[in-house]
Amino acid sequence: MTVSPLSKPEGQSRRSDYLRYLWQLGQADLSSFPVPPWRQQLHHQAGVLLQAQAIPGPQEEEWRATSLAGLLELEWTAAQAPQVITKASPEAKVWSGRVGDLLAGDECFRGLGDLAGLGEVFTTLNAACFTTLTVVRLQPGQVVAAPVELKFAIPPGVVTFPRLLVVAAAGSSLTLLEEYVSTGAGPSLTLGVTEVYLEPGAQVSHVRLQDQGTETYHLGRTLVSQAKASRYQGCTLDKGGQLSRHDLTVCHQGPAAQTNLAGLTLARGDQVSDTHTAIIHAHPQGFSRQLHKGIIADRAQGVFRGKVVVPQTGQLTDAGQLNRNLLLSSRARVDTQPQLEITADNVKCTHGATVSHLLEEEMFYIQSRGLDRLATEQLLLRAFAAEIIQQIPLASRRLALMADLTFHL
């Protein structure tokens, strides 16, 4: 569906007006078909909250390092649902379609919206406007051997609100690839939300690839709930977008939950790539490890904010977090801030961050073995990134990403 372009708001209320501009676009698409009663409440609740919200500015701590000023200059022709391309084996229950097609009370959609905290403005906007929903649901004890692949294809010139719900029942196992790409040149705005539920003993390996065009804005949020003795392995790779941000929150909702997070940011040109994560150890005997790496070139900017939270209820937690970055230019920037918030008194938690350049000593050693300087640079960059890319459980994707990993210093 297309609607007439709306004028960009001006004046002191510009950020709040621009949010309502996006909301109006989303509502125009949503009004084109009936919404079942069980969805109307979430849309209405989110709409009420939006009236008091605005596009974040640099005065807000969570957005201090990432400016959305460029977004406020853009106009959109419409809100439009992305094309969702699904590849899954028959034993995996995957559904994707318009919310107006859903039947009220369908058990498949239980839990939708329960995790997505509506205090965050773009999560609220997604809740108020999403028109398509993709669901992956496993039955108790079900093991899906082949990966489920979901590709969200985003056209230029529009705003999209992708929504994904994943429910892994007790004792089930799943490998999921969630991918975002552009279908043409030009700017677009993607505001996506993914909710992942792991019931007791469930295991989910979740890969998220963002490779949209260099003129796009991508603002995504992933929320994960882990019950007792569940295992979540998340791997994210962000390489597209003029500005991209991914907020990932994992909450342990039962004892002995295990979380392993790996991430890789590749930014060049004038790109800005922002990653915010939080792991909340709300129950005892939790385990988590996080390694996030960044390769930042040219005039690009990388941002990493990682938080590990251990309240009094999280005794015997074992958590470790590390952020490592390579700057390939004197004009490249990285803003890194790993954080620990601990009130429990019987835990083992570590965190750290490094920012460096390619070392001349390493370059000299490899060049002395017969490689020229360019080949040496690419070898060291691939070795740096391989620790993350090798965690992607699809061999074809690993090979393609390694082959495409070319930076010019």
| Percent residues over pLDDT 90 in the chain | 68
Least reliable range by pLDDT among 107-121, 322-336, 355-369: 107-121
Give 299 or 133, the one with higher predicted confidence. 299
Contact 186, 213 (CB under 8 A): yes
Average pLDDT over residues 70-97: 89
Instruction: Check pLDDT > 60 for residue 103.
Output: no
pLDDT value at residue 109: 64
pTM, whole model, 2 decimals? 0.92
Average pLDDT over residues 156-166: 95
Residue 89: C-alpha distances to residues 50, 136, 138, 165, 166 (Å):
39, 12, 12, 18, 16
**Percent of the chain whose pLDDT exceeds 70:** 90
Q: Whole-angstrom Cα distance, residue 55 to residue 14?
A: 9
Buried b (16+ CB within 10 A) or exposed e, 377-402: bbebbeebbeebbebbeeeebeeebe
Write the CB contacts of 304 (distance below 8 Å, at least 6 apart in sequence).
Answer: 265, 275, 292, 294, 323, 325, 334, 335, 336, 337, 338, 353
Q: Does residue 99 surpass a pLDDT of 70?
A: no
Tell me the C-alpha distance between 336 and 250, whole Å.
20
pLDDT tens figures, 329-341 = 999 999 999 999 9
pLDDT at residue 125 in the model: 94
Distance CA 87, CA 136 (A): 12
257: number of Cβ within 10 Å:
28
SS3 content of the chain, % helix, strand, coil (to 5): 20, 40, 40
Comparing C-alpha atoms, which of 273, 92, 66, 58 is closest to residue 175? 92
Among residues 212, 158, 214, 159, the alpha carbon closest in space to that of 181 is found at 212
Backbone angles phi, psi at 384, to 5 degrees: -65, -45
CA dihedral sign of residues 19, 22, 26, 27: positive
- Residue 155 pLDDT grade (very low, low, confident, very high; cuts 50, 70, 90): very high
pLDDT, residue 41, reads 76
- pLDDT band per the 50, 70, 90 thresholds, residue 308: very high
Query: Could you give the residue ranges of the DSSP H alpha helices within 66-218?
Result: 121-129
pLDDT-derived band at 64 (thresholds 50, 70, 90) equals very high
Using the predicted structure, report yes or no on whether residue 5 has a pLDDT greater than 50: no
